[in-house]
Amino acid sequence: MEITRLLDNALRKAAAVWITVDGRPRLVWALWRDGALWVAVGGGEQQVPGLRDGVTCTITVRSPTTHSHLADVPAAVRLVQPEKDVTDALRAARLNAEPAWTEVYRLDPDTQGLHGHGAELGG
């Protein structure tokens, strides 16, 4: 699907994204991998109030070329115990810093019925 490919391209290039939970947008560091957005929180890492297992959040995606608003994507949030390859990728994305997080969340975007605002999505 074209929208999925555009979102994949945009999120692969993003170092940080806006996540809205309980009506509160927050700019967070995240990693796009395996069709999901991975967010490490707690401890010495970022805090994302309201982010918890089982909630739905909104990921605001920007265009990697124009940096304009591309789409708001609903996502299911799951608290996970990441596999070693994901932990290694999170560590590498943090420039090999020792993990200071206490929780890792997997955000699975729901692209069904998604309509964007950017030119790349025909909006």
- 43 is a domain residue: yes
pLDDT of 2 over the 90 cut: no
- What's the distance, CA 38 to chain centroid? 6
Pair type for strands 24-29 and 56-62? unpaired
CATH of the domain at 46: 2.30.110.10
- 80 is a domain residue: yes
- What local confidence, expressed as pLDDT, does residue 105 receive? 98
Tally of domains within the chain: 1
Q: What is the pTM of this model?
A: 0.86
Range of the domain at 58: 2-114
Tens of pLDDT, residues 64-100: 888 888 889 999 999 999 899 999 999 888 876 777 8
